[in-house]
């Protein structure tokens, strides 16, 4: 019993995520079906990993995502450094 309760604490329901984001449960469901929100299907219900929510809100970034962001920032600075300097002076 304690193990299943522990597992339940690792996931949010569509209703819980909807309340956090201030949107409807249906809006969350549509975004899950579209693939915008990662979730697993348990029977007829979706469960959203809390780790995904933390990452999506910027509280926690995976190493792969961090490398991707750093690479993008480096490329932008390299390609647009002159423009960025001019914009900084305005």
Give the tens place of pLDDT for each residue, 47-90: 999 887 776 666 666 678 778 878 988 888 888 888 878 888 87
In the chain, alpha helices (H): 2-8, 14-21, 25-34, 50-56, 63-89
Q: Are residues 66 and 45 in the same domain?
A: no
Residue 2 has pLDDT above 70, yes or no: no
**Helical pair 25-34 and 14-21, crossing angle rounded to 10 deg:** 110
The reply to whether 53 and 76 lie within a common domain is: no
30 and 70 both lie in a single domain: no
- List Cα–Cα distances, 76 to 63, 87, 89, in angstroms: 20, 14, 18
Check whether 5 has a pLDDT greater than 50.
Answer: no
Residues 54 and 77 reside in one and the same domain:
no
Structure pTM?
A: 0.54
* Total of domains in the chain: 2
Domain with 74 in it: 62-90
How sure is the predictor about 22, in pLDDT bands with cuts at 50, 70 and 90?
confident
Do 11 and 50 sit in the same domain of this protein?
yes
H or E segment and range at residue 48:
strand 45-49
Regarding whether 75 and 34 lie in a shared domain, the answer is no
Residues 42 and 79 in one domain: no
């Amino acid at each position: 019993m304690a193990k299943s309760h522990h597992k339940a604490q690792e996931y949010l329901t569509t209703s819980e995520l909807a309340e956090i984001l201030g949107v409807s449960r249906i809006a969350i469901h549509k975004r899950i079906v579209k693939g915008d929100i990662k979730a697993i299907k348990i029977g007829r219900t979706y469960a959203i990993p809390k780790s995904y929510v933390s990452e999506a809100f910027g509280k926690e970034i995976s190493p792969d995502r961090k490398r991707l962001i750093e690479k993008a920032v480096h490329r932008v600075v390299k390609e647009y450094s002159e423009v960025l300097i001019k914009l900084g002076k305005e």
